[in-house]
Amino acid sequence: MSKLNNRQIILTNLKHKILERLLACQLLMVSQPNPIFNIVTNIPEIAMYQIISSQRYLSARSMIPRALYHIDWLMNKLDNDRFRQELRVNKDSFCAILAMIQGHWVFRSNSSKKQTEPGIQIMVALERLGMYSTSAFIGWIARLMSISEGSVNNFSWRFIFAIMSIEKEYVIWLDVQERKIISNRIK
């Protein structure tokens, strides 16, 4: 069972309180001329519910200071060897991967907020996958790449999903004859 966040808990509690008040007021409905209007104005929890449900977050969002744009530095300032040290692929391989998966549906958004371009998402995922031990902490990568922690997870998941969708085109099992050819080359 999924865990409710604070906003969901408050909304659930308000629903219960509203239902309790409605049931308590049900007896009064018969004796008043405009019962629905009186009930709605006499239950402040309804207004609270409307306000809280219309907002995504309970408290104001604070902006986290971001470093300079690391992505531009990676693509445009680094030579190929240093690029490979950062992302574990050279620029040509990166461009080939990007060309293969940038049109994948996972990189398209159905909402009004446009997704970060696929190239940046792939860079973030490769940066994360290429790190060892504690350096792969999401917060560190988020600060390094000037994005939020949630984006690091989302970008990594999208990249892995897109790569796995083309696996059958690029990962194949060799048959007996192909294995012999390769073993002869090794000898």
Of 95, 150, 105, 104, nearest in space to 126 by CA: 95
Q: What is the pLDDT of residue 118?
A: 93
Average pLDDT, the chain: 82
- What number is the average pLDDT over the span 127-154? 83
Q: Is the pLDDT of residue 147 over 90?
A: no
End-to-end CA, the chain: 57
Question: Tell me, what's the pLDDT at 91?
Answer: 92
Does the structure show a pLDDT above 60 at 171? yes
- Which tops the pLDDT comparison, 99 or 2? 99
User: Quick one: how far is CA 62 from the chain centroid?
Assistant: 19
Q: What is the pLDDT of residue 165?
A: 95
Interacting residues of 122 by C-beta distance below 8 A, sequence separation 6+: 94, 97, 98, 101, 155, 159
Residue 126 has pLDDT above 80, yes or no: yes
Domain positions in the chain:
6-53, 70-170
129 versus 71: the higher-pLDDT residue is 129
Phi-psi region of 104 (alpha: psi -120 to 50; beta: other; left: phi over 0): beta
Work out the pLDDT band at 2, boundaries 50, 70, 90: low
pLDDT at 178 > cutoff 70 = yes
Confidence (pLDDT) at 49: 84
| Phi, then psi, of 110 in degrees rounded to 5 | -95, -5
Q: How far is CA 177 from CA 96, 118, 135, in A?
A: 29, 39, 44
Report how far residue 187's alpha carbon sits from residue 184's, in angstroms, rounded to the nearest whole number.
5
Render pLDDT for 40-78 as a digit per residue (tens, 0 to 9).
666 788 888 888 888 877 777 776 665 556 777 788 888
